Amino acid sequence: MSRRTVALIFGGRSTEHEISVISARAVAAQIDPGKFSVTPVYIDRHGRWQGTRCSSEILALDLAALLRSDDPGSAAARLDSIAVENASEPFDFRAFQEDADVAFLVLHGSFGEDGRIQGCLETFGIPYTGCGVTASALAMDKELTKLCASAAGIEVADSLTILSNEYFRDPVGACREVEAGFCWPVFVKPASLGSSVGIAKVHHAAELRPALDEACLLDMKVLVEAAISGREIEVAVLGNDEPIASVPGEIVPGSEFYDFEDKYIRNAAKMYIPARLSETESEAVRNAALVVFRALGCRGLSRIDFFVENSTSRIVLNEVNTIPGFTDVSMYPMLMAATGIDFPELVTRLLELALENASDSNNR
Ligand SMILES: Nc1ncnc2c1ncn2[C@@H]1O[C@H](COP(=O)(O)OP(=O)(O)O)[C@@H](O)[C@H]1O
Ligand SMILES: [Mg+2]
């Protein structure tokens, strides 16, 4: 087989832009040069697709080090200045469409993980890694994810959905409805963001309104969810028609919950691979992950996150990440490695699954 050209697409119009750049650098380092040649495609924060010179320069940056430095803002500034320096090099969509055999998507959050870029690539006729348009869109929306999963028999936390425009018309009424329906604490979360952006643990009535104000400014739809007191367990799923589930991993947040700082700045959270579960619990979580993967119609990969409730051992779905973090220390590649698939092999398999998926859907 001749070498395939992989368009490695990263960056994007999302709050997780920098994480995507770091993940892309890790993926690029693992793509098998014997099988694939890589063309980096950086989408800047404003949604502009950048040419190869700019994209390569950004991929070469050690952004993780900049984010850890005394001035984390310098990371965003550096990305912007590279894009500005290369502004005269336009992105050649025609060449992209003709040359790319497959796209490796390392875009987190809005526009990347939610079906929009997938639709764009379908239109171009370029196969891509991971879930298709519908599964991506469903998984991005925490309310729709829960509806699909519970229809398939998976337990989810009780929640109330609040539409932001209605909330701003009557915030007092919305707060009253929450107070009547839930015990404290509750979690308030934007339906379609990631990285814990806009998420708050609300301990009593006085904290509710500020939390809803913030979340409703960030998203058109917000969930108020009963807090689950339990362990956070994540499962990596890989495959198309016959997906496999990894050994489960466990996150122990370094703060009250797994918030943005804990994820990317303090690094205080602890990871256990495998999770500290009994054999029976572990099997049950793996099976639940496969049920959720199928219920949403996922393809390629997803990281499926659960709680295992302390008092009952009940397995409760939290959320589905169709393009999970892909840095060297991210849960998804580490879970796969613990299951016998190392990072380079994982990247090759994802690309092969993308090509297989595209040829299957063309033949149906
Ligand atoms: N219902 C809940 N009960 C307990 N903890 C929760 C709940 N919802 C969210 N959390 C905490 O908030 C974190 C982020 O929430 P999550 O729904 O996973 O959003 P994100 O997409 O931003 O990762 C979780 O990892 C967990 O620590
Ligand atoms: Mg999460």
Structural domain includes residue 283: yes
Claim to verify: residue 16 and residue 46 sit in the same structural domain: yes
Is residue 330 a part of any domain in this protein? no
19 Cβ inside 6 Å of ligand 1: no
Ligand 2: centre distance to CA 326 (Å): 14
Number of domain units in the chain: 3
Asked if residue 318 has its Cβ within 6 Å of ligand 1, the reply is yes
Name which residue sits closest to atom 22 of ligand 1, judged by CA. Answer: 196
Residue 63: per-residue pLDDT: 87
Q: What is the pLDDT of residue 196?
A: 81
Domain that holds residue 179: 159-226
Identify the pLDDT of residue 205. 95
Whether 97 is in a domain gets the answer yes
Ligand nearest to the CA of 318: 1
By most ligand atoms within 8 Å of CB, the mutation choice from 160, 187, 188, 224 for ligand 1 is 187
Is residue 327 assigned to a domain? no
Q: What's the pLDDT at 100?
A: 97
- Give, using CA atoms, the residue closest to atom 16 of ligand 1: 196
Which atom of ligand 1 is nearest to 316's Cα? 1
Residues lower than pLDDT 70 in the chain: 1, 362-364
Q: How far is CA 88 from CA 51, 52, 59, 95, 206, in A?
A: 9, 12, 19, 17, 52
CATH number for the domain harbouring residue 284:
3.30.470.20
Q: Does the Cβ of 194 fall within 6 Å of ligand 1?
A: yes
Q: Are residues 24 and 115 in the same domain?
A: yes
pLDDT of residue 166: 97
Distance, CA 234 to ligand 2 centroid (Å)?
9
**Ligand 1 in contact with 306 (CB < 6 A)?**
no
Closest residue by CA, ligand 1 atom 2: 227
Q: For residue 230, which atom of ligand 1 is closest to its CA?
A: 4
280 is a domain residue: yes
pTM score, two decimals?
Answer: 0.95
CATH number for 182: 3.30.1490.20
Ligand 1 site, residue 49, Cβ cutoff 6 A: no
CATH for 92: 3.40.50.20
pLDDT in the model for residue 197 = 83
